[in-house]
Amino acid sequence: MTDAYIFDAVRSPRGKGRADGALHEVTSIRLSALMLNAIKARNGLEGHAVEDVIWGNVTQVGEQGGCLARTAVLASELDQAIPGLAINRFCASGMEAVNLAANQVRGGAGGGYIAGGVEMMGRVAMGSDGAAIAVDPSIAMNTYFVPQGISADIIATEYGFSRDDADALAVESQKRAAAAWADNRFAKSMIEVKDINGLPILSRDEYMRPGTDMQSLGALKPSFKDMGEVMPGFDKVALMKYPHLEAINHIHHAGNSSGIVDGSAAVLIGSKEWGEAHGLKPRARIRATAKIGTDPTIMLTGPVPVTEKILKDHGMAISDIDLFEVNEAFASVVLRFMQAFDVDPSVVNVNGGSIAMGHPLGATGAIIIGTLLDELERSDKEVGLATLCIASGMGAATIIERV
Amino acid sequence: MTDFTYEVDADGVAVITWDAPGKSMNVLTREAFALVEDHIDRALADDAVKGVVITSGKKDFAGGMDLNVLASIREESGENPAQGLFDFTMNGHRILRKLERAGLDPKTNKGGKPVACAINGTCAGIGTEIALACHRRFMTDNEKARIGLPEILLGIFPGGGGTTRYSRMVGAMAASPVLLEGKMLDPKKAKSASLVDEVSADPLADAKAWVLSAGDADIVKPWDVKGWKMPGGAPYHPAGFMTFVGASAMVNGKTQGVYPAAKALLSAVYEGAMVPFDTALKIEARWFTHVLMNPSSSAMIRSLFINKQALEKGANRPDVADQTVKKVGVLGAGMMGAGIALVSALAGIEVVLLDQKQEAADKGKSYTADYMDKGISRKKATPEKKDKVLSLITATTDYDALKGCDLIVEAVFEDMGIKAEVTKAVEAVVGSDCIFATNTSTLPISDLARASQRPEQFIGIHFFSPVDKMMLVEIIKGAKTGDVAVAKALDFVRQIRKTPIVVNDARFFYANRCIIPYINEGIRMVKEGVAPALIENAAKMLGFPLGPLQLVDETSIDLGVKIAKATKAAMGDTYPDEAVDEVLFWMADEGRLGRKAKAGFYAYDDKGKRQGLWDGLSKFPEADDQPDLSEVQHRLMFAQVLEAVRALEDGVLTDIREGDVGAILGWGFAPWSGGPFSWLDILGAARAVEICDRLSESHGERFATPEMLREMAAKGETFYGRAEAQRAA
């Protein structure tokens, strides 16, 4: 079977996903096109150079609707012969784009792909595309639907993580992100966002709060307590699925959950032969990909079973992995991952994560693969695993290996 | 067929009057529904008719659908009952839709005849659904009249278009008290909830006047106008989205997933909100059929409506002359006695409330005063009514005051000796035809009857606490109790408007016999290391209002200890509950006597508000391997239902209807199931035997399969099937 390689990875800085965020003025199509242009320019991709652009995005309505992948290609400097595929696997959409591209290459369906994603959370509100699983009584009740924040709190309760555990992880994420920026560790992938005249808009992750400490986090109120305990009372639903628990411990708040931001990322993937034909040197091999479904109520435990699956399917052990990127959707997700595999926190999210820098849903999966690759190279390590929890109870993972 | 009459008045208003012959309340039959259509057709075809008013010839407008209709349609439809029920429902939609469109041209919405509803009294179920299909509703200003859609309380939901129409009139959120909680509203509240348009001193006259003045624009329903939008937002409108997300969670949490009707109702509203009105009615009919096909709905209707009513009407009353109680003597003015005095006086019965000390007797009477004061502050009673009720109660210490009582209810301390003394003292003053009832909950009636000179007039009337709230009364026949005493007790229960069951004398009678093993099984699991939260949640997810640990906190742990000691003394070596007692006695020793002590299996705050499970229960460490939810649920359920089956085998229960109704009203036994026997019928005897055999193997003899159940499994019988066969034979 053909191997799939990563040749390049870029990302935008992440802007606050609010009306006063720096990227709020930029359309999702334009930000996507900027990433595609960067990949094209950095790798000299002329003409019909890649087979497809696979683009992850969660909220595919409004400007993000209508197959934004194809629209982004047409808005970019890529050749119009390159089509576009918009995909949605919620928070792992960007990773799924990479995995799909890699597996297309492995299966021989074309030599090169651009995979990535975008989410302008300040422009297209999360949830504005509707979701039957939350709204349709016959499915919501039968699957014991609760919002993700409640799910994250179920994880904390079920696996015994305290508010302090979660806050400590958040403080560490902020510290590591700040240190990474101070050390210029994102420079290799970072594409400054510029306006139509070439004037700068944003060059740094905007969401970070480097001064965060336990005390400042301690002042925050739990975000999901009211909807859990009072109106409409999601905890009762959660306890129907987890009846051995007496009550849900609400530990998550804005400071230990991922930030709402705007952002985009792209990864260039291809076979060795394709790379040679374009004069490109592979940076890493995509060694394995996996996805899995889990209980939709606790929803966010996917990284554990999907990691078990990817290791088993490829005859690997957790000790074979040098570095981990576990998306910081909520602190308890990462805490549970480290608990389940007993991995050293010093090799997980070494440059911070979504708690500090934000989680542009459709892009994050591609972002963390790029961040993982940059860090493997910087620290001269070999094998890295990236994984994300996914809405409605799923998990996805990718293992890359430097070449 | 004269359920609906038709008459055109001098102004050209066709008045369709609902007046079911020979009935005090209008209930809709299939034939009557067809008649409604005939009358509408006639009115629409007659050029002389300007409009229509639908009203009732009775004091009230309508009680609802004749629930026997649904059962007979199911039977008639043979192999395919779902088709029969769906077709029936769709036919109803067709008739009411014809009424609602009233001849309006489908394209121009012009040329229709106004139809108003004059709701002259209480109106429920299909009556309200007919009214909702009309163009304007005028309701009487009689404050005692109520209108609503209480179907959900019987395990179904409004399936005559009421769900679709009302949710489209006011929005999903605003519709929920009426649709999801089945609230019946007085005229004023009904108007603010848009169930009716006008509250009127003369609804018929006002309805006629409106019909004559209304134009086409007044009679077109909003959903029949292009561009209609769901009030409060359709499901994928931002506001509607939050409503529907919240509604599913609330209904799920509240019903603990065991009431299919609430789910189906919500689905009908959700799916219906996104399609045109006629399609929405079709969806409503599909979900309604789905609920009717669920055994839970038939079981609920059977127990909570048909059989409950049959028992209240004296299904098991011996054929003796009327025994209406005129003067009742209540002995002991404690909590039970005070409650019995209250409900008796409320029923207009003269009460002598007797205690050893005048203060105690007065305190017992003040319970009624407090109750009435609360009613006055809630505008449910008047000071005059209070005076009247209080004047019926004489609080005294004087046995002579009992002279003239035709019924005595003894509610003194649970002690054989004291009770015997009281019995003798009473019999010395009352007339020879007076019936003596004891409200004991633990002592055998036949033993207590030994103190009586007239054991055939001695009976048990077991009330549940609090007396004014609990609807069940358990009547217990001692070995020598005669028919007159049973009739007396039944007539008394009818007077105080409660539901009776009649059982034979045996330890704990019926209700407590089943409740105690339920509580014990919960406590036993604590001892075994099952997570207490799992025990409690498992019970709630079966549809029990209280988990076993909360229940024993409510009934008090020292009472549990007392019962355990007495049972052990009576049973000797065969006593099976040592493991339970280890926990129970320890709790009592720790002073954790339950809610009244603000300390029990749960922790309580200073005000007695329940907090969480008590952390001291960690004395019995939670096992690493917790049982499956279904295992815990089977144990809690079978602990009760097997006891009910044994009560039937032993002849304590003689009628499964009483076993089912009594369980739901007595201790809140999973109402969705229709009661223990209905639950077993839904489960199937064969499956029940399979589970029992497994439970008795792993958990002990208390789960041993009763012979009756094994026999039924072998023959493929159900409890209700057997009962019907016996009745037919």
Query: Residue A270's beta-bridge partner residues?
Result: A5, A112
Element of type H or E holding B65: strand B64-65
Q: Which domain holds residue B350?
A: 327-507
> Could you say which of B239, B268, B293 is where a domain stops?
B293
- pLDDT grade, residue B124 (50/70/90)? very high
A237 shares contact with chain B (CB less than 8 Å): yes
In a mutagenesis test of the B interface, which of A124, A141, A145, A229 is the best target, namely the one with the most B β-carbons within 10 Å? Answer: A141
Contact B253 A237 (CB under 8 A): yes
pLDDT band, residue B152 (cuts 50/70/90):
very high
CA angle B135, B160, B127 (to 5 degrees): 60
| The one-letter amino acid at A200 | P
Q: Which residue pairs, CB below 8 angstroms and at least 24 apart, start in B375-382?
A: none
Mean pLDDT of the region B17-21: 96
Residue with tokens 């067929």: B1
Q: Which residues of B touch A247 (CB under 8 A)?
A: 612
Phi, psi of B408 (to 5 degrees): -115, 135
Considering the domain boundaries, does residue B54 fall inside one?
Answer: yes
Within this chain, do residues B485 and B516 fall inside the same structural domain, yes or no?
A: no
Residue A41 contacts B where some CB pair is shorter than 8 Å: no
Residue B414, min C-alpha distance to chain A (Å): 37
* Claim to verify: residue B528 and residue B602 sit in the same structural domain: yes
Q: Which residues of A touch B613 (CB under 8 A)?
A: 246
Radius of gyration of chain A, Cα coordinates, nearest whole angstrom: 20
How do B198-200 and B147-148 pair as beta strands?
Answer: unpaired
**Quick one: chain B helix, strand, coil %, rounded to 5?**
55, 10, 35
Q: Which residue do the tokens 């602990």 mark?
A: B639
pLDDT band of B300, cuts 50, 70, 90: very high
Q: Is A359 a catalytic residue?
A: yes
CA distance A189 to A181: 12
A144 to chain B, any CB pair closer than 8 A? The answer is yes
Annotation says A389 is catalytic: yes
Annotated active-site residue in A91, A250, A252, A278: A91
pTM, to two decimals:
0.93
Residue A258 DSSP SS3: coil
Cis peptide before A13 (omega within 30 of 0): no
Spell out the residues 6+ positions from residue B27 whose beta carbon is closer than 8 angstroms to its own.
B20, B62, B63, B64, B65, B66
Q: Note whether B232 and B360 are same-domain residues.
A: no
Using the beta-carbon criterion (under 8 Å), do A135 and B254 form an inter-chain contact? no
Q: Structural domain tally of chain B?
A: 3
> Under a CB-based contact definition with an 8 Å cutoff, are residues B166 and B178 in contact?
yes
Give the residue from B293, B308, B339 where a domain finishes. Answer: B293
* Cβ contact, residue pair B244, A244, below 8 Å: no
* Domain assignment of residue B622, yes or no: yes
CATH number, domain of B263, equals 3.90.226.10
Q: Do B249 and A232 touch (CB under 8 A)?
A: yes
Q: Is B27 within 8 Å of B4 (Cβ atoms)?
A: no
Alpha helices by DSSP H, listed for A108-195, are 132-135, 137-140, 148-159, 163-182
For the cut 70, the answer to whether the pLDDT of residue B594 exceeds it is: yes
- Percent of chain A clearing pLDDT 70 (strictly above): 100
Residue at B241 is within a domain: yes
Strands (E), B136-231: 136-140, 147-148, 184-185, 198-200
Residue among A140, A234, A243 whose CB faces B538 most closely: A243
Rounded Cα–Cα distance for residues B653 and B663 (Å): 12
Q: How many helices (H) and strands (E) does chain A have?
A: 15, 12
Residues in chain B: 729
Statement to judge: residues B124 and B173 lie in one domain: yes
**Counts of helices then strands in chain B (DSSP H, E):** 31, 21
- CA A152 to chain B, closest CA, distance in angstroms equals 17
- Look at residue B277 and tell me if it is in a domain: yes
B636 and B574 co-located in one domain: yes
**CATH number for the domain including B569?**
1.10.1040.50
**Portion of chain B with pLDDT greater than 70, in percent:** 100
Can you tell me the distance from the alpha carbon of A336 to that of B408, in angstroms, rounded to the nearest whole number? 67
Q: Which amino acid is at A180?
A: A
CATH of the domain at B395: 3.40.50.720
Residues B400 and B519 in one domain: no
- Which tens digits make up the pLDDT trace of B165-215? 999 999 999 999 999 999 999 999 999 999 999 999 999 999 999 999 999
CB A119 within 8 Å of CB A360: yes
Residue A139 Cα, gap to closest chain B Cα (Å): 9
CB-based contacts of B11, cutoff 8 Å, min separation 6:
B50, B208, B212
The reply to whether B237 and B378 lie within a common domain is no
Please give the structure tokens belonging to residue A278.
């374009």
Q: What residues have CB less than 8 Å from B526, skipping those under 6 apart?
A: B532, B535, B549, B583, B601, B617, B620
Inter-chain residue contact B612 with A246, CB threshold 8 Å:
yes
Does A236 sit within 8 Å of B253, measured CB to CB?
yes
Of all residues in chain A, the one with the smallest CA distance to B238 is A128
Q: What is the pLDDT of residues B356-391, one digit of tens each?
A: 999 999 999 999 999 999 999 998 899 999 999 999
Kindly state whether residues B167 and B205 are assigned to the same domain.
Answer: yes
Contact list, B536 vs chain A (CB under 8 Å) = 246
Nearest to A44 by CA among A104, A117, A112: A112
Query: Do residues B530 and B394 both lie within one domain?
Result: no
**Is B681 found in the same domain as B535?**
yes
Q: What is the mean pLDDT of residues A36-51?
A: 98
Q: What ipTM does this complex have?
A: 0.93
Query: Which pLDDT value is given to residue B70?
Result: 84
pLDDT for A327-336, tens place per residue? Answer: 999 999 999 9
Q: What's residue B1's pLDDT?
A: 60
Pick the last residue of a domain from B476, B507, B538: B507
Could B247 and A246 be called an inter-chain contact, meaning their C-beta atoms sit closer than 8 Å?
no
In a domain, B104, yes or no: yes
Over residues B577-590, mean pLDDT: 95
Which of A127, A233, A245 shows the shortest C-beta gap to B249? A233
Is B284 contained in some domain? yes
Count Cβ neighbours within 10 Å for each residue of B405-439 and write b for 16 or more, e otherwise. bbbbbbbbebeeeebeebbeebbebbeeebbbbbb
Q: Same domain for B492 and B599? A: no
pLDDT at B68 over 90: no
Cis peptide bond prior to B260, omega within 30° of 0:
no
CB of A135 within 8 Å of any CB in chain B? yes
- Using DSSP's 3-state secondary structure scheme, residue A89 falls into strand
Query: How many Cβ atoms from other residues are within 10 Å of residue B84's Cβ?
Result: 19
Predicted confidence (pLDDT) per residue in A185-216, tens digit? 999 999 999 999 999 999 999 999 999 999 99
pLDDT tens digits along B321-336: 999 999 999 999 999 9
- With respect to residue B312, please indicate whether it lies within any of the assigned structural domains: no
**Would you call B626 and A237 a contact, using CB atoms and an 8 Å cutoff?**
no
Same domain, B581 and B607: yes
The answer to whether residue B321 is domain-embedded is: no
